[in-house]
Amino acid sequence: MSLILEDVDLQVGREMHIDRASLELAPGSFNVLLGRTLAGKTTLMRLMAGLEMPTRGRIVMNGHDVTRLSVRQRNVSMVYQQFINYPGMTLYENIASPLRLAKVDQEEIDRRVHETAEMLHIEHLLERYPLELSGGQQQRTAMGRALVKDADVILFDEPLVNLDYKLREELREELRTLFAERHCIAVYATTEPSEALSLGGHTAVLHQGQVLQYGPTEEVYRWPNSTRAAEMFSEPPMNFLDGEITDSSVIIGERYRLPDNAGFLHLPPGSYRFGIRASHISLIPNDDRDIAMDVRVDLAEISGSETFLHVHDQQSDMTVHLAGIHEFEVDDEVTLYFPVHKVYAFDAQGSVAHVPAYLGES
């Protein structure tokens, strides 16, 4: 079971909601669609489901062209961000409804509903009605309905957004194990890079209706193919500094001169944008070659046991992700260090030119 999107466009009025999206989802894969709101995640899912027809392009499922087939003729299921259940039916009937419509016999329905409910830990609630339950339980019911039929493609449209933090973690973990032994294609939309990373599988980075990059999640994270993809797939976004590479030197932001052996000199000379991840900048040097930057603090945001430090120097604004709680006053002068071997370089068109070598860490 594979799902292939070939140059799919969706035009509404004059706006391109999806712009030449091509994806090839492998059988049994877990895929994350990562992008900000309005990036086209939901629309792309609706196209995959058949709720929306593409303006141009082809959608091929398992070797068959399904571009013009409606939802009911494609074997898909979907879980929404809102908790969508049939309020007039018990949980049992809610989960059983796709099977009932598929004319599965009662014994089989009974077995599968109980099996699914058990997986989702809602077995004791089967006689209740959805609106009597908590949000987490309602969403589990919706997932149950999606999982109970052997759909070829299961689509999750930010299913955990409306749940509280703790529940989200819990359900996310369960979701991964649920899919480990299934052979269907799962597609999961999220706005959070960290969620994509923890879900693993493959990731497609979306921006303004375009698929910027698709590949195994970790690879996409480590080797972003453009400044956009790098920006989308890091939270807080990657910091970019303009710089120059000449025959003999690499200068970032006109001030920071990289040592010759940092691995950039093989690049053709010219203007580049250098990217540094927020989490790679630190308060103390880890290496003799680390570059020191003198910056001023705009804001120190403390979130849990982490600190997001917003700083600026003469040329650019940067965000630093520090472990632990650090308190800074506005306008404090700080010296920060970034390691030269973790700097990305992008050419003038925004395509990646240099990716730092990773030694098992991220």
Distances (CA, A) of 1 to 55, 58, 151: 24, 16, 10
Q: Could you give the CA distance from residue 191 to residue 203 in angstroms, rounded to a whole number? A: 12
Take residue 334 and report the two structure tokens written for it. 């700080």
Q: How far is the CB of 32 from another protein (least distance, A)?
A: 21
The mark string for 120-149 relative to another protein (x by CB under 8 A, - otherwise) is: ----------------------x--x---x
- In the bound state with another protein, the residue whose beta carbon lies nearer, of 9 and 93, is 93
Angle between helices 106-119 and 91-101 (to 10 degrees): 130
Minimal CA–CA distance to 147: which of 112, 121, 189, 174? 112
Provide the greatest CA pair distance for the chain. 76
Take residue 64 and report the two structure tokens written for it. 């068959």
Q: How far is the CB of 86 from another protein (least distance, A)?
A: 6
Cβ neighbours around 2 below 10 Å, total = 16
Contact pick of 38, 65, 68, 101 for another protein (by CB under 8 A): 101
- In the bound state with another protein, the residue whose beta carbon lies nearer, of 97 and 234, is 97
Asked if 1 interacts with another protein (CB under 8 A), we say no
What phi-psi label fits residue 3: left (phi over 0), alpha (psi between -120 and 50 degrees) or beta?
beta
- In the bound state with another protein, the residue whose beta carbon lies nearer, of 98 and 201, is 98
Contact pick of 87, 200, 259, 270 for another protein (by CB under 8 A): 87
Residues 176-205 that bind another protein (CB under 8 A): none
- In the bound state with another protein, the residue whose beta carbon lies nearer, of 143 and 353, is 143
- In the bound state with another protein, the residue whose beta carbon lies nearer, of 18 and 49, is 49
User: Residue 326 is which amino acid?
Assistant: H
Asked if 98 interacts with another protein (CB under 8 A), we say yes
Count of residues that bind another protein according to CB under 8 A: 21
Residues 244-273 that bind another protein (CB under 8 A): none
Asked if 49 interacts with another protein (CB under 8 A), we say yes
Q: How far is the CB of 341 from another protein (least distance, A)?
A: 48
> Going by DSSP bridges, is the β-strand pair 250-252/15-25 parallel, antiparallel, or unpaired?
unpaired
Minimal CA–CA distance to 288: which of 355, 361, 337, 342? 337
Residue 148, classed as helix, strand or coil, is helix
- Per the CB < 8 A criterion, the answer to whether 329 and 297 are in contact is yes
Residues 64-83 that bind another protein (CB under 8 A): 70-72, 76-78, 80, 82
List residues binding another protein (CB under 8 A): 49, 51, 70-72, 76-78, 80, 82, 84, 86-88, 97-98, 101-102, 142, 145, 149
